[in-house]
Structure 1
Amino acid sequence: MMGRMDVSEVLLPGVGLRYEFTTSDGQHIGVVAHRGGDFEFVSYPAADPDEVHLLFRLTAEESDAITEILGAPRIAERFADLTREVPGLSSGQVEVTAHSPFAGRVLGETRARTRTGTSIVAVVRGEEVIASPGPDQILRAGDILVAIGTRESITGVERILAG
């Protein structure tokens, strides 16, 4: 069994989260997870963590592909961690029932973010996790939407999906 890697997380107000770790060969790596879904991968010398070197950027779509490859189920864990760090921010799970007017329709038609301020950060469909779903993601009965917002705004998403 492999040991747990030491990854530090730093909240970047207005930006997102930065994850930092040291690789087995001594490289210092950072991943900045922007609130909009984009990621920046950076490296920096141990002696001066302010001297950041951009390695590459990934769009939300590109990061979705990598997330699925590397273990999408962990994304919900990370957002739960974020909600513990930011007062007033909550995470919740909202089911798309068979009776929902949005079953079989695309996520964007719900206008959930516009109407409530809640972000849908993942769709859990059985064993599959669709990270950072786009507005064209088709919702199916039984899907669980992982939502980030206030408790009230998540309740608003539940009302929207219920019709």
Structure 2
Amino acid sequence: MALIREAELPGLGKKYQVTLENGEEVAVIIHDDGNREVYHFLPDADEAVDSFIMNDQEARQLGSIIGGAFYQPRALEKLEAAVADLRIDWLKVKETSPINGRSIGELGLRKNHAIVVVAVIDDRCRNRKDGACINPGPGFVFQPGQTLVVAGHAEKMKKFISEML
């Protein structure tokens, strides 16, 4: 899974930086006026090897193509049918969330909610340069500001999100 970092660019927009499995990075700057700048970096490179700018409509069209709106590879059709009820979400823990200060085990996420925490994105994850805790154990305690990558059945996930986040 690719690591995605997000940064506010005051007066300009937002920047999203994606580190791919092969070590390359793609940076996208979304300007407040709707334009997008896209940069491609090779592993350990300080400068982009390529870049281009798109307007809002072009970016949305390209996003639709990449997201599979026009064509879905045949292999994915079988996978989608097999996991039609599976849902994977990226959820932000809010200050007011009932899970704050509670652990995965204490909440019984797997047993009581059929929810699996795949990863937690948080700069406070110890011994992790990328700020991600992969497959945290039952003692992991949730804190505000963390982003959870969770998986479960669609209905169970919907209930978990409405009750716990």
So what's the TM-score if we normalise by structure 1?
A: 0.44
